[in-house]
Amino acid sequence: MGSIVVDVMLKPEILDPQGQAVAGALPRLGLGGFTDVRQGKRFVLTVAGEVTDAHLTAAREAAETLLSNPVIEDVVSVHSLDAVDDTDGAEDANVEGDAQ
């Protein structure tokens, strides 16, 4: 079984109260040094077998039409989980760009 990860974030111009609350709490917990926090959503879609280009195309379409609200959110990444090691931040190299 393969997995596809879709990351959705609020557009930069949209107020993010949850992110602001976390940003305010971090210094109180002794975790300083962060200048901003934005919250987002992550979806993991599982497919039978290996992830194919057709699966990724369908996941991008789902991300743009169902998993995100294009008025206030951007789809920032759609990628195969199998191709990414989440422990080292490599997922940032798979950013697909803003879905408009």
Q: Rounded to an integer, what distance in angstroms lies between the CA atom of residue 21 and that of residue 37?
A: 9
What's the whole-number mean pLDDT along residues 48-60?
97
Global confidence as pTM: 0.77
Beta strands in the chain (DSSP E): 2-10, 40-47, 73-80
Asked if residue 39 is part of any domain, the answer here is yes
What's the whole-number mean pLDDT along residues 21-26?
97
Asked if residue 100 is part of any domain, the answer here is no
**How wide is the angle at C-alpha 12 spanned by C-alphas 6 and 16, nearest 5°?**
85
* Residue span of the structural domain in which 73 resides: 2-94
Nearest CA-CA partner of 47 in 39, 56, 38: 56
| Residue 23, both tokens | 């940003």
Predicted confidence (pLDDT) at residue 84 exceeds the cutoff of 80: no
In the chain, how many domains are there? 1
Asked if residue 64 is part of any domain, the answer here is yes
Question: Domain holding 72: CATH number?
Answer: 3.30.1280.10
Res. 82 pLDDT band, cuts 50 70 90: confident
Res. 22 pLDDT band, cuts 50 70 90: very high
Res. 93 pLDDT band, cuts 50 70 90: very low
Question: Which of the pair, 60 or 100, is modelled with greater confidence?
Answer: 60
